[in-house]
Chain A
Amino acid sequence: MGLAPGRVETVIIEQFDSPEAYSEATGSVKTVSGYYDIPGGEARLIEEEVQVINSMGRVIRKTIDSWDIEHAYASPSAHTKETYATIWLPARGHRTGLNLVDRVTTVFWWASIYAQQGGYQSYREVREGEVIYNTIPSSHPPTAEELAKLKKQGRYVADALNIQVILNSARSWDSALSSNGIVEDAEYPQTSMWKRISTTEHMVHDTWSDIVEYTIKHNHLNPGDVSIDGPKVTKKPGIKFEIPVPISPPTLTDASEYGTGGVFLRAESGGGFLGPITFNGKTVVIRPDTYKFYRRVDSMPGRSLDDDPYNLWDTPPSADNKFGIPPIEGVVTDSSGAPLADSLPSPVAPGESDDTSEPDEDHWTLVAEIDNAEEQKTLDGWAAVVDLDVVQNAEYTYRATVVCNGEESEPSNELSLTYTLATVSQGIVATVRTNGDGNIEIDVVAPSNIEVENSNPNLPDDYGETVAIKAPVDLGRTGSGEIEEEDIDDAAQALGIEIAQAQMVRSQGLRRIQITPVVPILGIQRGSIITAPALSWKTLGNDLVINSSTVQTTLRVDGWGLKVSNNNGNFTVISDPLDCLEVSV
């Protein structure tokens, strides 16, 4: 028995209009549950009584469940279910009240450590109950031969009662009810008896790898009706043994400039090696699942150590004081007006010197975590990635680690390089703002320290020029529907960078112009002033039209060429594109 219910809950469900399987229509259901409350824990059900009540308030059927639980956390050791019903029991009652018609007694035991996991539990279930028999009247008591014959047929003969009745077609009360097998007539040849109906034995045992279940069911109403279900074999859940294996780091074999695109990184091998342990003569190697690449910024041009050298913050936190609360300069004076020392704790704006959010000490930034690219797990693993987040002329150091089963190795060797192949698009900062008249203005600034690689050292380089461009663009046109302000910001930023990348390449100023006139200009001489007209032309792309024009300029002739040939006494000018007017602004 063990636990006893310390708390009883009663639940009555009214208007429970479901057809009752065995009897009349129902009106309500009353459930009385008895719980044992584990202190500070869950409640365990000890007893439960379910009453099905008809619309007249009469109990049609009643089920009492009870569990035997040894202690608060144990599995049930036994279970009993008793069913009472107001049914017609032939040769027994007259449906005057509730009769016990069924009792199922189950005794559990466990012979496996998995008993309490997933219901792997052995049990023996014995069902007793009322059994309905049809009887065959006989004119004479059966002879011994007839008795033997009847018993051989599996029929039960109540010879002890010496009534001349042959019991036939034994059925349990519920199956007799469900097939309308009970005739509520006292004259009808039926009788009922309390008999053992069935015995079910469920056995569980486990081998080293499997759980084996057998179910043997013995129906006592039909002699020889024994069915064996099983064996049902279930694999045991695997047990994971974790052996601490040292994971050796990979080798960073390549960290080189990958054109203008970034830095190419490649790491090889690494993983766990069980040195002394061999399996089938082979060394057990745990291949890496992923490779992690790390980057450290050693120096970045244009940034000092004080100025966020490792790019940990996009903008200094102090620059983005969203709350706009200025630090309070509190002064408390005494009665004479002289300020008192240490009047208030001095407030600190975020991001200033008392900001304690220290950046990571070693400044390694994760570039990427790449899956082991070697598909054959018997071979050494490798992975490669291109680090895109690099800035021209900055010095970087890279290293890699491997990850096996979530465990990360020590870092690999380190490779350093100075990235020099970037175009100026690296590190461009585009700020979108709304200027005074409401137009959007995109301010794009290149890194301030581009090394200008001058292909012609004789030509001076005017570095640091600013150009202003008016772009007749509808920024919202690319989207559909409602345009969010953030979308416009993104589109403006993309547009600004797009334009700036075209502008920020080192360009050459147009100071010397060649003009090929259609007629020779005979009076021209060096130093003459000429005016070139404003020219406009149109370039058609797929769906793009670029209208270009020049401004009318005053030019001074630097040089010219004239080539003529004699054609039967008439000299004609052969205007060669190379021999033309050279003018300078």
Chain B
Amino acid sequence: MTASRIPVSFLVTMGDRDITDYVESCYIKQGTDILFREFTITFRAWHNIQSDETWNIWASYDPAAPKAELLIRNGIVPPDRQPNFVLAQGQAPLVTLNGYDYVWLAQRRCPRQTLVFAHTIGGVNRVVSDYDKPLGKYRAITGRSTLNQMLEYLGALAGINVKCKLPVRAISPMVIEPTMSYWRAMMELARPWAPYIYYMNNDNTLVFEDPASAQSTVSGPVLNLHKDMIKRTQGIPSYTKTINRVIVEVI
């Protein structure tokens, strides 16, 4: 299959600077098993790339309005990530950077701080005394009793809005160790109840949704794919089944 080329308008900013003209290619991926988007950008760079720059990538079908869709919001190149340089004589260096959008921060965690959750302060004390490992420095979370409240609190710690379209459920006291990220903690709490977890990056909101619950709504407008828009469809099996009975009706 020959790759088809569709014109699209792009706008890439690094910090305050528009570097669109220097971009050679860009790859944006929303993984199926991770929450955040990943971007890989290749551009002709100069020497002063700041490691703490935030990246924004817009795209549009209309070149007159280049900021129609925000693909990467406040993107971060992780500090431990080294950019890949390709140097050629007489040319500006070709840099390939690999980063994530802002929600990647949920992957991180305040170091050496244990979270202890209970409904009351007395409950926190009981959890601490009953915990069989030394807790060290810990942060008590009280005044919350439902799953939704707990998810919102964890999201706030990571700097992300959390929206829960789930039934109200009570949760038990727990201890979140410092090795567990906010993201994993939210996943462990919400995974049994929320089959659909997604991040709406235009308003920095992480959504936990159970489509069977009454609170479930359609997230955004329904996109109808016309059959002329589909070039290729491929199914990937995700479970197995064994049929042991076949009823054939001859008509």
Please encode chain A, from 441 to 461, with 1 for each CB lying within 8 Å of some chain B CB and 0 for all others.
111111110101010100111
Chain A residues touching B, majority SS: strand
Q: Which residues of A contact B69 (CB under 8 A)?
A: 522-523
Chain B binder among A72-80, A134-142, A215-223, A556-564: A556-564
Q: How far apart are B103's CB and chain A's nearest CB, in angstroms?
A: 10
Q: Which residues of B contact A473 (CB under 8 A)?
A: 250
Please encode chain A, from 233 to 265, with 1 for each CB lying within 8 Å of some chain B CB and 0 for all others.
000000000000000000000000000000000
The count of residues in chain A whose C-beta lies closer than 8 Å to any C-beta of chain B is 95
B10 interface residue (CB < 8 Å to A):
yes
Q: Which residues of B contact A499 (CB under 8 A)?
A: 246, 248
B49 interface residue (CB < 8 Å to A):
no
In the complex formed, the residue of B with least CB distance to A519 is B6
A519 CA to B223 CA, complexed, in Å: 13
Q: How far apart are B100's CB and chain A's nearest CB, in angstroms?
A: 14
Within 8 Å by CB of B32, from A462, A521, A559, lies A559
Say yes or no: A566-B8 contact (C-beta < 8 A), given A464-B242, A467-B246, A496-B246: no
Please encode chain A, from 568 to 585, with 1 for each CB lying within 8 Å of some chain B CB and 0 for all others.
011111111101101010
Please encode chain B, from 71 to 82, with 1 for each CB lying within 8 Å of some chain A CB and 0 for all others.
100000000000
B218 interface residue (CB < 8 Å to A):
yes
Q: Which residues of B contact A554 (CB under 8 A)?
A: 222
Contact yes or no, A528 B220, CB < 8 A? yes
Contact yes or no, B246 A512, CB < 8 A? no
Contact yes or no, A561 B222, CB < 8 A? no
Chain B residues touching A, majority SS: strand
A524 CA to B201 CA, complexed, in Å: 11
Q: Which residues of B contact A422 (CB under 8 A)?
A: none
Please encode chain A, from 175 to 208, with 1 for each CB lying within 8 Å of some chain B CB and 0 for all others.
0000000000000000000000000000000000
A521 CA to B59 CA, complexed, in Å: 10
The count of residues in chain B whose C-beta lies closer than 8 Å to any C-beta of chain A is 70
Contact yes or no, A441 B6, CB < 8 A? no
Contact yes or no, B230 A516, CB < 8 A? yes
A571 CA to B20 CA, complexed, in Å: 10
Q: Which residues of B contact A584 (CB under 8 A)?
A: 32, 238
Q: Which residues of A contact B32 (CB under 8 A)?
A: 512, 558-559, 582, 584
A529 CA to B225 CA, complexed, in Å: 10
Q: How far apart are A517's CB and chain B's nearest CB, in angstroms?
A: 5
A535 interface residue (CB < 8 Å to B):
yes
Q: How far apart are A573's CB and chain B's nearest CB, in angstroms?
A: 4
Contact yes or no, A441 B7, CB < 8 A? no
A567 interface residue (CB < 8 Å to B):
yes
A509 interface residue (CB < 8 Å to B):
yes
Chain B binder among A151-159, A404-412, A500-508: A500-508
A442 CA to B219 CA, complexed, in Å: 45
Say yes or no: A454-B224 contact (C-beta < 8 A), given A435-B249, A564-B8: no
In the complex formed, the residue of B with least CB distance to A444 is B246
Chain A binder among B23-31, B91-99, B104-112: B23-31
B240 interface residue (CB < 8 Å to A):
yes
Say yes or no: A527-B198 contact (C-beta < 8 A), given A463-B242, A571-B10: yes
B130 interface residue (CB < 8 Å to A):
no
Within 8 Å by CB of B247, from A469, A556, A576, lies A469
Q: How far apart are A459's CB and chain B's nearest CB, in angstroms?
A: 5
Contact yes or no, B5 A573, CB < 8 A? yes
Contact yes or no, B220 A529, CB < 8 A? yes
Say yes or no: A471-B207 contact (C-beta < 8 A), given A462-B239, A504-B243: no
Q: How far apart are A6's CB and chain B's nearest CB, in angstroms?
A: 77
B231 interface residue (CB < 8 Å to A):
yes
Contact yes or no, A503 B243, CB < 8 A? yes
Q: Which residues of A contact B220 (CB under 8 A)?
A: 525, 527-529
Contact yes or no, A513 B236, CB < 8 A? yes
Contact yes or no, A442 B248, CB < 8 A? yes
A446 CA to B204 CA, complexed, in Å: 52
B132 interface residue (CB < 8 Å to A):
no
B1 interface residue (CB < 8 Å to A):
yes
Contact yes or no, B26 A564, CB < 8 A? yes
Q: Which residues of B contact A527 (CB under 8 A)?
A: 196-200, 207, 209, 219-220
Contact yes or no, B232 A563, CB < 8 A? no
A443 CA to B250 CA, complexed, in Å: 11
Contact yes or no, B248 A441, CB < 8 A? yes
Contact yes or no, B7 A452, CB < 8 A? no
Q: Which residues of A contact B127 (CB under 8 A)?
A: none
Beyond A530-B223, A531-B222, A532-B230, 7 additional pairs, beta carbon < 8 A: A465-B245, A507-B242, A518-B4, A525-B200, A571-B9, A571-B10, A575-B3
Instruction: Supply 22 A–B pairs (Cβ within 8 Å), ascending by A.
Output: A441-B248, A442-B248, A443-B247, A444-B245, A444-B247, A447-B244, A462-B239, A465-B241, A465-B244, A468-B247, A469-B248, A495-B248, A499-B246, A504-B244, A508-B238, A516-B232, A521-B223, A522-B59, A525-B202, A559-B30, A566-B23, A571-B59
Please give the residue numbers on chain A whose beta carbons come within 8 Å of chain B beta carbons, in ascending order.
435, 439-448, 450, 452, 454, 456, 459-473, 475, 492, 495-496, 499-500, 503-504, 506-535, 550, 554, 556-567, 569-577, 579-580, 582, 584
